[in-house]
Structure 1
Amino acid sequence: MALRPAPLGAADLVRLGGYGLRSRPLRAVLSALGIAIGIAAMIAVVGISESSRAELDRQLDALGTNMLRVSPGQTMFGDDASLPDEALSMIKRIGPVTSATATGTVSDTPVYRTDRIPAGQTSGIALMATQLDLLETVGAELAGGTWLNAATAKYPAVVLGATAAKRLGDVPAVYIDGRRYPVVGVLKNVPLASELDTAVLIGWAAAESYLDFDGHATTVYTRAVEAKVEAVRSVLAATANPESPDQVDVSNPSDALFAQRAASQTFTALLLGLGAVALLVGGIGVANTMVISVLERRAEIGLRRSLGATRGQIRTQFVAESLLLSLLGGAAGVLGGFAVTLFYASTQSWPTVVPLWAIGGGLAATLLIGAVAGLYPAIRAARLAPTEALAAA
């Protein structure tokens, strides 16, 4: 009865593969370095591109790519329309809407720095009633003082826009309809809602209590999920005023949104192209190393075959060695690519972003490279007859 060779376990394959690499350390290091450079290039390209995209998204978000404005239009007779009282609450119920707030112009109510300013010298400053969540929705920031809260929004207190504050001067209070209104805060310039720069803002409840404000919103600022901006825009008019949607004006999505999507597509194409080149270079390096290894180790192959090793075991040995070589290079490449991304992003003051799919994909790519690149040399080694291999050695 013929004896069958003992099967090779996973530990045996690792030891055999490790022996093949340790017997030629310089060549193994150089081959692994080729893989590492290829994978590091892929990870670095992905990481730098994603970091750059994150920075671009941050800048574009500051431009209001997902913000829409709703305002009353005109009636069929050319008169100014108005939004219903429930327009804001209805808009907030739209699924993709992440936040919504409103301001309402208090008409024919000038603001003065003192009670002795002539009636006509208003300096072009508007008075607006506002909801408390205005800052978060429009991305406004305070230059000083505090924002309106649940208490101050009910009583005579105001916040000045940046331009209004310059025109009024450094005053502790303003005068509206002869009443003194303390200034509790001043805004910085608001790029997404420049009309707020020349406005004096008062709480919604206070405007209704102390001034001739009818409670109707004149502008509703809406933030929506970026992917759903166009869909939200298509239903905003009918949601804000179901009875007369044609009397509602809705702004178009920002051009920056389309620029953001175009940039995302460009980055994706760049990643695919450079990643394919990196993988090709790494695969060629591993294949070259394994072919030379087979040629130099014919004596070892012949001896193992003479001692009973099967062709399958020889194939498995060289494929395992190729996989181990690729995996070592891939792990070094992932670490190197992450380091390059971290360094470059920090020099540009970008957020460092290396997606997990890129790390996992890099390691998976190294295994694929090792398997494909080592397959032909392994088959060639397995086909060597023991006598032929020993004679050639």
Structure 2
Amino acid sequence: MTGTSGPRQPRLRPARLRPRDVVRVGAVGLRTRPTRAFLSALGIAIGIAAMVAVVGISSSSRADLDRTIDALGTNLLTVSPGTTFTGDEAQLPLVAESMVGRIGPVLAHSAIGRVADAKVYRSARIPRAQTNGIAVYAARLDLPDTVGATVGSGTWLNAASARYPAAVLGSATAQRLGFGRAGPEVQVLVGGVLFTVVGILDPAPLAPELDTAVLVGWSAAESELGFDGHATTVYTRSEESSVEDVRAVLGATANPQAPNEVAVSRPSDALAAKQAAGEAFTRLLLGLGAVALLVGGVGVANTMVISVLERRAEIGLRRSLGATRGQVRQQFLAESLILSALGGCGGVALGSAATAAYAVAQGWTTVVPMWVLVGGVGATLVIGGVAGLYPAIRASRMPPTEALAAP
């Protein structure tokens, strides 16, 4: 007798979850535990916000510094006395300024001369010991054009005022003396002589020595303060393509008899060094931000592990209703990624806002590189994927019977 068998039953395949369904299922765990989800996302957000703000503020500062250098020029060179063989301070010859002006590629030159023993006071009633560290310089009329300085209040010296007791204050000098503006009624005591303050300079990035100085006319310095006529700093503007060539001959030209006693510098190099120091500090802060991000990732991993332990009954129920291990893995991995993405987007927004607020306060243009925004969100997704991988695998491997029997 030959047995007969009925028709072969087709094997049922589990339904495949669409991406929208995966996101919806993954968000369930976050909605049921909002406080825990918020705190975990906050850890990620703090790390990302720190990194975005550090890069954004550094980029804004660097952009502002680059604009300053471009506006002021990188072709400014200064000549000043060095030291003698015995270690004493050297002195530039009286003809140093005119000799420097004869160098072919030099487009413009100017000079200042330190007036020794000239003390500065707001009035005769100020104690003699309170000099505020203010220096007095005789200045050529073309000094602002050469060094890129601007007058914030009043006016610069002219051919007439340079012969009389008229002075221009540096920005820091005006603050120390308590002067907010220049005018005929504003006077300062320089070397025992009252000088009328005709102008106050804005900060001079390429000539910071002017910020803490009182500048008087060359003729007035000689007649009123006993100035000896020796320049202590000669400023030169050269053709961009010839700056290094001019730099090589400035010392020998300014003091042919003792070129080794002349110091030649390029002020824009100091600004570039400042920028390099700022970049090193930025790298340090980025490291701290990365540590904060790592701590946030650990928080996400901890949240997901606890979530798996607390939801064993849910996992068992889903498995008993036909959910595959892969679908359970997708659920918990999606939950981790959503949690990290929320923290990343929040961190990018917070970091950008902090950058904008600081840049506006400093008067800078806000610059937040696109790569840091994309990289911030990408880093959170990587952190979320790594943090949620182990809990997701653990959940998928949990037997349905054991999960359902869990209290």
- Give me the TM-score of the superposition, normalised by structure 2: 0.56
The 2-side partners of 1:324 and 1:232 are apart by 58
Q: Structure 1 CA distance, aligned partners of 2:397 and 2:406?
A: 14
Shift of 1:338: 4.4
Matching residue's letter, 1:141? V
Q: Which residue of 1 aligns with 2:48?
A: 39
Task: Letter of the 1:188 partner, please give it.
Answer: I
Tell me which residue corresponds to 1:22: 31
Q: How does 1:308-327 map to 2 (within 5 A)?
A: 308-327=322-341
Indicate the residue corresponding to 1:182 in structure 2. none
Paired position in structure 2 for 1:111: none
- Report deviation, 1:286: 0.6
Question: Could you say if the C-alpha distance between residues 128 and 43 of structure 1 is closer, same or farther in structure 2, counting changes exceeding 3 Å?
Answer: closer
Is 1:197 the counterpart of 2:215 in the alignment? yes
Report the 3-state secondary structure (helix = DSSP H, G, I; strand = E; otherwise coil) of the residue aligned with 1:68.
Answer: strand
Bigger mean CA offset, 299-308 vs 280-289: 299-308
Q: Give, in whole Å, the separation in 2 of the partners of 1:125 and 1:363.
A: 55
Q: Give the equivalent residue in structure 1 for 2:247.
A: 237
Contact kept in structure 2, 1:224 and 1:232, CA below 8 Å: yes
Match in the other structure for 2:19: 10
AA partner of residue 363 (structure 1): V
Amino acid at match of 2:166: A
What's the offset of the Cα at 1:294? 1.2
Shift of the alpha carbon at 1:384? Answer: 1.7
CA displacement 1:204-246 (0-9 Å, x = unmatched): xxxxxxxxxxxxxx95534999xxxxx98643335889x9899
Q: 1:56 to 1:84 in 2, by over 3 A?
A: closer
Give the partner amino acid of 1:138: G
Q: Is the 8 A contact 1:70 1:237 kept in 2?
A: no
* Structure 2 counterpart of 1:335, one-letter code: A
Shift of 1:325: 0.7
Residue type matched to 2:109 in 1? Answer: A
Distance 1:48 1:160 in 2: 44
Are 1:69 and 2:70 counterparts? no
- Native 8 Å contact 1:68 1:250 kept in 2: no
Cα shift readout 1:113-152 (whole Å, capped 9, x = no counterpart): xxxxxxxxxxx99795749xx53743232643589xxxxx
Q: Deviation at 1:260?
A: 1.7
CA change 1:125–1:381 in 2 (3 A) is closer
2:295 maps to which residue? 281
Of 284, 304, 318, which residue of structure 2 is paired with 1:270? 284
After superposition, the C-alpha distances for 1:138-172 in whole angstroms (9 at most, x for unaligned) are 3232643589xxxxxxxxx84856996349x97xx
C-alpha distance in structure 1 between counterparts of 2:163 and 2:289, whole Å: 49
Q: Which amino acid aligns with 1:333?
A: G
Alignment check: 8 A CA contact 1:137 1:223 kept? no
Question: Structure 1 residues 369, 159: CA separation in 2 closer, same or farther (over 3 Å shift)?
Answer: farther
Change (3 A) 1:354 1:362: farther
Per-residue deviation, residues 299-341 of structure 1 (Å, max 9, x unmatched): 3323333344332232222111101111112222333344555
Cα distance change, pair 70–232 in 1 and its aligned pair in 2 (3 A) = farther
Which residue identity does 1:165 align to in structure 2?
Answer: A
User: Corresponding residue for 1:102?
Assistant: 109
* One-letter amino acid of the structure 2 residue matched with residue 135 of structure 1: D
Query: Are 1:188 and 2:197 counterparts?
Result: no
Report deviation, 1:291: 0.7
Amino acid at match of 1:10: P
Separation in structure 2 between the aligned mates of residue 301 and residue 290 of structure 1, nearest angstrom: 14
SS of the residue corresponding to residue 11 of structure 2 reads coil
Q: Distance in 2 between matches of 1:125 and 1:392?
A: 86
Aligned with residue 140 of structure 1, among 150, 153, 158: 150
Q: Distance in 1 between matches of 2:137 and 2:298?
A: 71
Q: Distance in 2 between matches of 1:296 and 1:161?
A: 85
Q: Secondary structure at the match of 2:48?
A: helix
Cα gap change, 1:251 to 1:189, in 2 (>3 Å)? farther
SS at match of 2:316: helix
CA change 1:45–1:246 in 2 (3 A) is same
Residues of 2 paired with 1:162 and 1:267: CA distance? 48
Code of the aligned partner of 1:316 = Q
Alignment of 1:313-392 (within 5 A): 313-340=327-354, 351=364, 355-356=368-369, 357-392=371-406
Residues in 2 aligned to 1:232 and 1:164: alpha-carbon distance in whole angstroms: 39
Please give the residue correspondences for 1:83-94 in structure 2 after superposition, counting only pairs within 5 Å. Answer: 83=100, 87=104, 90=105
Alignment of 1:123-134 (within 5 A): 130=142, 134=144
TM-score, normalised with respect to structure 1: 0.58
Q: 1:344 to 1:146 in 2, by over 3 A?
A: closer
Tell me the distance in 2 between the aligned counterparts of 1:350 and 1:80: 43
Task: Kindly indicate whether the alpha-carbon contact (under 8 Å) linking 1:301 and 1:386 is maintained by their aligned counterparts in 2.
Answer: yes
Report % sequence identity. Answer: 48
Distance in 2, matches of 1:256 and 1:49, equals: 18
* Cα distance in 2 for residues equivalent to 1:237 and 1:104: 17
The alignment status of 1:303 with 2:317, answered yes or no, reads yes
- Give secondary structure in 2 for the equivalent of 1:188: strand
Q: Which residue of structure 1 lines up, in the alignment, with residue 264 of structure 2?
A: 251
